[in-house]
Structure 1
Amino acid sequence: MDFHCHLDLYPGAREVYREAAKRNEFTWLVTTSPKAFAATSRALEPSPTVLMTPGLHPEIAHERAAELDLLLEQIAGAKAVGEVGLDGSPRFRAHYEVQRRIFSAVIARCAEVGGRALSIHSRRAVRDVLAELGRNPNFGTAVLHWFSGTPAELRAAAALGCWFSIGPAMFDSASGKALAAAMPRDRVVPESDGPFAKIEGKPVMPWSESQTAEGLAPLWRLSTEEAASVLAQNGRALLKLIGR
């Protein structure tokens, strides 16, 4: 399974999509903008093992802010939403208020339509993400993708009921390993974040769950097989929340 993947952005995307649909029990294809979601939905044949969702990535929020109304329309007919969120890193800080306006509208819309699962970007913005979720308690289920906050922020996110999607690239740093080890074990699911996430310069592929299990096993003091079993069990529990 892969709970956060930009399947439409790989080189040779159609072939990668077909392979993922065949290999994986489930792949969550997150999109970066409402128009990208519409285009991807037209370009790729639907698959029972792939969930395509509308989103508006915070890194391009200032460029695509005019698409917000379209996103709010798309949310009504979607089982889940992503990628959405906030990015407070220096490169995108100048557009933070635009990001906040969009994210606030998305979370409010999810609550309005009965709750949705969301794949959420929270780089250097965890407190604001959690505050927005807290203001809309009926928003649904938050899956924090590639979490990189502080240990205190991780505890706050866990207390709020958040899930966490992590991939092989997270184990490249000591801080990433420490955060992965501290996450609630029953709310961790695999992701690739391909093709953006890379290992040794190559994009992580959507069928990388076994690599995530290998990375988690020593942190959880389990065998790789046991870690893989936990991830699979968690993934199926999250799929029920998504409505798959």
Structure 2
Amino acid sequence: MGKPLHDTHFHLDLFNDEILSIANKIEKEKIYTIAVTNLPPLYTEIIKKLKDNYNYIRPALGFHPELIGKYHTLIPKMWELLPHVKYIGEVGLDYKVGNDFKTKQVRFFENLIEKCDNQGGKILTIHSRRSADDVISIIGRNFNSKYILHWYSGSIKTLKKAVENGAYFSVNYSMTKSDSGKKIIAQIPMDRLLLESDGPFIKFNKDVFTPLHNKHTVVILSKALNISLEQTNTLLFNNFRSLITL
């Protein structure tokens, strides 16, 4: 397919006994992968498991918004680790599942964005279910890091504001199959489009999605963008390269 594939949002740590097997396949296929985590201790665990054996996998320090209420005592660990990492995710806001501890979510996310802005040079992959307006407002226009809106499902108006503020958008296979997802993809500027698998939460036929399956998403995007498969792959690779170049 020419240029290497990438994956900006993959939950490698949720594959349990298959972690190293999948990591080895990612490495063999040279797929640049951001391996997100949902809590700081899970980040430290995946670091230990992978050691320094993989050139194409970048573990990301995360604190999923759905878990802020139950695991808020782990927030100091997040701040302890933050200065030492480049990749942050999964983080963000979720007003569907976490609405009963919305204030804690917002306070944490505001603190996170402030710290990342002060430290600079971070790359964040952000969850924004039913909260895109607040996510974009909190990040603001002059954020001193780069960020990706993962599986964006907000309004087109907010999407356009996010584009003005420098956001990237990661698209997964499920988005290419739904009417709402197709409408959103059609509004994303081509130079802000990235790939994600969001495995293991998405399936391809009966297989759980991994970065190796992202080639199927590229095929569908090629048709949606009305450009060749080679052009699509080059476009996506250049976008990813632009993202990680700080």
Same fold (TM over 0.5): yes
Cα pair 2:176 2:182 within 8 Å, conserved: yes
TM-aligned CA deviation for residue 122 of structure 1? 0.5
Question: What do residues 11-36 of structure 1 show as CA deviations (whole Å, max 9, x unaligned)?
Answer: 51221122112213411011100011
Residue 197 of structure 2 is aligned with which of 176, 192, 201? 192
Write the distance in 1 (CA, Å) between the matches of 2:152 and 2:200.
18
TM-score (norm 1): 0.93
Question: What SS does the aligned partner of 1:207 have?
Answer: helix
Write the distance in 2 (CA, Å) between the matches of 1:209 and 1:49.
15
1:177 matched residue in structure 2: 182
Question: What SS does the aligned partner of 2:139 have?
Answer: helix
Write the distance in 2 (CA, Å) between the matches of 1:19 and 1:59.
30
Cα pair 2:14 2:200 within 8 Å, conserved: yes
TM-aligned CA deviation for residue 49 of structure 1? 1.0
Write the distance in 2 (CA, Å) between the matches of 1:124 and 1:202.
28
TM-score (norm 2): 0.92
Cα pair 1:85 1:129 within 8 Å, conserved: yes
Say whether 1:51 aligns with 2:51: no
Question: What SS does the aligned partner of 2:140 have?
Answer: helix
5+ residue gaps, structure 2, are 1-5
Question: What SS does the aligned partner of 1:86 have?
Answer: strand
Write the distance in 1 (CA, Å) between the matches of 2:167 and 2:71.
27
Question: What SS does the aligned partner of 2:59 have?
Answer: strand
Cα pair 2:120 2:144 within 8 Å, conserved: yes
Residue 207 of structure 2 is aligned with which of 202, 224, 228? 202
Question: What do residues 149-186 of structure 1 show as CA deviations (whole Å, max 9, x unaligned)?
Answer: 11111111111110011111211211101111110110
Residue 22 of structure 2 is aligned with which of 16, 20, 32? 16
Cα pair 1:29 1:51 within 8 Å, conserved: yes
Moved segments of 4+, more than 6 Å: none
Say whether 1:140 aligns with 2:145: yes
5+ residue gaps, structure 1, are none
